[in-house]
């Protein structure tokens, strides 16, 4: 067996294995040496991923199962490319952080994400899927607050459920088909739905989404960059691979897109607002998967690529504000553009990208999904996604920057963010503009040939019109769109409030009932003992009547009963 594995991997080193092994040295390094090593490791990881040739690698037979650790094609590569790129950007952004646990967790998380998109079988996918969960939760816990610990525990429970569903689905799939190959899952029965639900949880599809808006705002400033980029997008990849054309996903994606922007209206925490817009933007990708056409699947992959970069840029801008001010509420911020002008400028590039402004990356990917809905004659889906696009600009492009950087001066006088944070933001901003100006570069990476032009008069006119009227509405209603100092519970109300309250009520009522039962039992036992003492004690009637004591009486009674039973 060992010889088989060695032959299978002899000519190829899995990028995830490279990053995992390289991570082992991080705890033993200090200072600038460690900073340089982490950056070098991330760059080598990027180079290895971008130089992989399409093909099948790491095939082996283990315990009677045919496993493929490295299936490299155009679909897996487009996700692996951007995962490795964001690993470099996130590493630069975190150079100033002195927390080995956080650095190790981030690299293991990135390695696991690439492992998922390169997995050629469901068992390998499951192993990396679980490694993602175990690594990513530390990026929440390492903020070291009571809120982050509680959010991390809830995150862990939800994703453990996802893993259990996925494992159960894989087992049923294998028993039903005799194969573990990870291709389109088109069988009928429980296996199909168990695997689909496991994937949908990680994609944050409502009502299975609240873990994201619960956990991401509580993560560390640098850890949130990796979180915003990896978990939901690996879920988009597996949905594209395993469930293209699943009609249910079209409507679930459209609901996601609107759900996120509606709850962003209620958000006061800047990272919670951005987290809800992750749900909204992933909705476009999920809807594209459900449509299943070539342009729709290309649009989902392209939007995942651009989303990782501009969403990371937005989280980096928000993280820089939190790092320099210690505040994260819209109601506590304002007027920061004077003191953090570069952060403000770079954030706005991300805001223009997510809002699908022409010449920015979101425009060339989001309009592709909208076009897929239009050419497929899905009018209501197109309308719902367009409405969500307006909401995105309203909150991420206008509300958050206005009340954070502009608006009423909060009296805070922070310094500009550290150079490494600004450099990481600048790299992400460059790609947001580069892809928007030259979309052919991104289109050339997509899994199917692209016959689409984002810069037609129809697309430009519609998008500019949408943005113009959204901006006008924002300033007309400016007094009513600001943040409010409150937390709005989502479906997580069920496990944050309802279930604990129910458990406490059951415990309290059950405790009272149990005490009643114990009281009755004690009284019954006491009465029984008292009766025995009254009839069989030294001064009892029986003891006084028969000098030989009650034992002879009971022996006689038992003997008579036995004879009666025997003869009857």
pLDDT digit string (tens) for 193-243? 999 999 999 999 988 888 898 899 999 999 999 999 999 999 999 999 999
Quote the tokens at residue 150: 């509680």
Q: What per-residue confidence (pLDDT) applies to 3?
A: 39
Q: Are 69 and 79 in contact (CB under 8 A)?
A: no
For residue 57, the SS3 value is strand
Q: Rg of the chain's alpha carbons, rounded to an integer?
A: 31
403 confidence band (pLDDT: 50, 70, 90): confident
Secondary-structure breakdown of the chain: helix, strand, coil percentages, each rounded to the nearest 5: 75, 5, 20
Instruction: Find which of 3-12, 86-95, 327-336, 536-545 is predicted with most confidence, using mean pLDDT.
Output: 86-95
Once rounded to an integer, what is the mean pLDDT over residues 66-70? Answer: 84
Q: State the Cα–Cα distance between residues 265 and 263, nearest whole angstrom.
A: 5
Q: Which residue has the higher pLDDT, 542 or 364?
A: 364
Instruction: Find which of 86-90, 503-507, 524-528, 533-537 is predicted with most confidence, using mean pLDDT.
Output: 86-90
> How many other CB atoms are found less than 10 A from the CB of residue 29?
15
553 confidence band (pLDDT: 50, 70, 90): low
> Backbone dihedral region of 64: left (phi > 0), alpha (psi from -120 to 50 degrees) or beta?
left
Q: What per-residue confidence (pLDDT) applies to 394?
A: 84
> Could you tell me the pTM of the whole model?
0.84
- DSSP assignments along 352-404, one per residue: HHHTT-TTSHHHHHHHHHHHHHHHTT-HHHHHHHHHHHHHHIIIIIIIHHHHH
Q: What per-residue confidence (pLDDT) applies to 537?
A: 54
Once rounded to an integer, what is the mean pLDDT over residues 31-42? Answer: 95
Q: State the Cα–Cα distance between residues 195 and 168, nearest whole angstrom.
A: 8
pLDDT digit string (tens) for 285-333? 999 999 999 999 999 999 999 999 999 999 999 999 999 998 888 888 8
Once rounded to an integer, what is the mean pLDDT over residues 3-19? Answer: 65
Once rounded to an integer, what is the mean pLDDT over residues 251-280? Answer: 90
532 confidence band (pLDDT: 50, 70, 90): low
Strands 55-62 and 65-72: antiparallel
Q: State the Cα–Cα distance between residues 179 and 191, nearest whole angstrom.
A: 13
405 confidence band (pLDDT: 50, 70, 90): confident
pLDDT digit string (tens) for 129-177? 999 999 999 999 999 999 999 999 999 999 999 999 999 999 999 999 9
> Backbone dihedral region of 33: left (phi > 0), alpha (psi from -120 to 50 degrees) or beta?
alpha
DSSP character at residue 99: -
Percent of the chain with pLDDT over 90: 61
Q: Are 81 and 28 in contact (CB under 8 A)?
A: no
Q: Is 556 exposed, middle or buried (0-12, 13-18, 19+ CB in 10 A)?
A: exposed
Once rounded to an integer, what is the mean pLDDT over residues 86-92? Answer: 97
Q: State the Cα–Cα distance between residues 274 and 227, nearest whole angstrom.
A: 12
Q: State the Cα–Cα distance between residues 209 and 249, nearest whole angstrom.
A: 14
- Written in H, E and C, the secondary structure of 174-196 is HHHHCCCECCCCCCCCHHHHHHH
Closest CA to 22 of 136, 138, 106: 106
pLDDT digit string (tens) for 478-523? 776 665 655 566 666 666 666 666 766 776 666 666 677 777 777 7
396 confidence band (pLDDT: 50, 70, 90): confident
352 confidence band (pLDDT: 50, 70, 90): very high
Q: What per-residue confidence (pLDDT) applies to 507?
A: 64
232, β-bridge pairs: none
Percent of the chain with pLDDT over 70: 84
Q: Are 356 and 389 in contact (CB under 8 A)?
A: yes
71 confidence band (pLDDT: 50, 70, 90): very high
Q: Which residue has the higher pLDDT, 444 or 500?
A: 444
Q: State the Cα–Cα distance between residues 348 and 354, nearest whole angstrom.
A: 10
Q: What per-residue confidence (pLDDT) applies to 539?
A: 56
Once rounded to an integer, what is the mean pLDDT over residues 70-77? Answer: 93
**Does 29 have pLDDT greater than 70?**
yes
Q: State the Cα–Cα distance between residues 439 and 397, nearest whole angstrom.
A: 22
Quote the tokens at residue 37: 């090593």
Q: Are 386 and 380 in contact (CB under 8 A)?
A: no
**Does 31 have pLDDT greater than 60?**
yes
Mean confidence (pLDDT) of the chain: 86
**Does 540 have pLDDT greater than 60?**
no
Q: What per-residue confidence (pLDDT) applies to 139?
A: 96
443 CB-near residues (< 8 Å, 6+ apart): 298, 302, 450, 452
Torsion from C-alpha of 378, 379, 383, 385, nearest 10 degrees: 10
Helix (H) or strand (E) holding 72: strand 65-72
- CA separation, residue 559 to residues 550, 563, 565 (Å): 14, 6, 10
């Amino acid at each position: 067996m060992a010889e088989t594995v060695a032959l299978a991997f002899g000519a190829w080193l899995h990028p995830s294995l490279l990053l995992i092994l390289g991570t082992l040295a991080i705890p033993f390094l200090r200072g600038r040496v460690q900073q340089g090593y982490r950056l070098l490791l991330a760059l080598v990881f990027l180079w290895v991923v971008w130089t992989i040739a399409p093909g099948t690698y790491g095939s082996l037979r283990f315990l009677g199962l045919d496993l493929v650790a490295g299936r490299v094609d155009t679909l897996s590569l487009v996700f692996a490319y951007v995962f490795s790129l964001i690993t470099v950007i996130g590493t630069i952004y975190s150079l100033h952080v002195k927390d080995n646990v956080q650095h190790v967790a981030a690299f293991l998380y990135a390695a696991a994400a690439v492992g998922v998109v390169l997995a050629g079988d469901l068992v390998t996918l499951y192993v990396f899927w679980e490694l993602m969960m175990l690594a990513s939760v530390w990026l929440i816990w390492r903020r070291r607050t009571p809120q982050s610990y509680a959010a991390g525990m809830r995150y862990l429970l939800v994703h453990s459920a996802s893993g259990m569903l996925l494992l159960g689905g894989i087992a049923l799939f294998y028993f039903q088909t005799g194969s573990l190959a990870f291709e389109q899952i088109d069988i009928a029965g429980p296996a199909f739905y168990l695997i689909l639900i496991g994937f949908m949880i990680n994609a944050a599809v409502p009502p299975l989404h609240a873990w994201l808006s619960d956990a991401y705002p509580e993560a560390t400033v640098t850890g949130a960059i990796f979180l915003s980029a990896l978990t939901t997008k690996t879920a988009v990849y597996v949905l594209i691979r395993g469930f293209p054309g699943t009609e249910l996903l079209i409507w679930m994606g459209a609901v996601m897109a609107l759900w996120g922007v509606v709850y962003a209206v209620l958000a006061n925490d800047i990272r919670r607002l951005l987290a809800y817009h992750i749900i909204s933007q992933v909705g476009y990708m999920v809807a594209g998967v459900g449509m299943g056409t070539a342009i729709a699947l290309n649009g989902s992959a392209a939007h995942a690529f651009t989303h990782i970069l501009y969403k990371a840029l937005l989280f980096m801008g928000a993280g820089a504000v939190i790092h320099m001010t210690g505040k994260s509420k819209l109601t506590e911020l304002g007027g920061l553009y004077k003191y953090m002008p570069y952060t403000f400028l770079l954030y706005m590039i991300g805001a223009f990208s997510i809002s699908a402004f022409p010449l920015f990356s979101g425009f060339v990917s989001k309009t592709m999904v909208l076009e897929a809905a239009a050419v497929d004659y899905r009018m209501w889906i197109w309308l719902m996604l367009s409405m969500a696009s307006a909401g995105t600009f309203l909150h991420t492009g206008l509300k958050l920057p206005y009340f954070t950087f502009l608006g009423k001066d909060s009296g805070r006088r922070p310094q500009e963010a550290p150079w490494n944070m600004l450099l990481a933001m600048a790299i992400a901003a460059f790609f947001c503009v580069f892809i928007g100006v030259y979309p052919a570069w991104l289109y050339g990476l997509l899994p199917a040939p692209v016959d689409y032009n984002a810069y037609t008069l129809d697309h430009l006119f519609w998008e500019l019109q949408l943005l113009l009227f959204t901006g006008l509405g924002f300033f007309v209603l400016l007094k009513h769109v600001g943040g409010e100092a409150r937390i709005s519970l989502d479906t997580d109300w069920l496990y944050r409030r309802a279930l604990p309250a129910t458990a406490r009520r059951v415990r309290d009522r059950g405790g009272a009932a149990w005490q009643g039962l114990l009281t009755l039992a004690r009284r019954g036992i006491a009465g029984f003992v008292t009766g025995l003492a009254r009839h069989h004690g030294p001064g009892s009637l029986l003891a006084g009547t028969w000098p030989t004591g009650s034992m002879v009486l009971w022996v006689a009674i038992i003997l008579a009963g036995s004879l009666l039973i025997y003869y009857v």
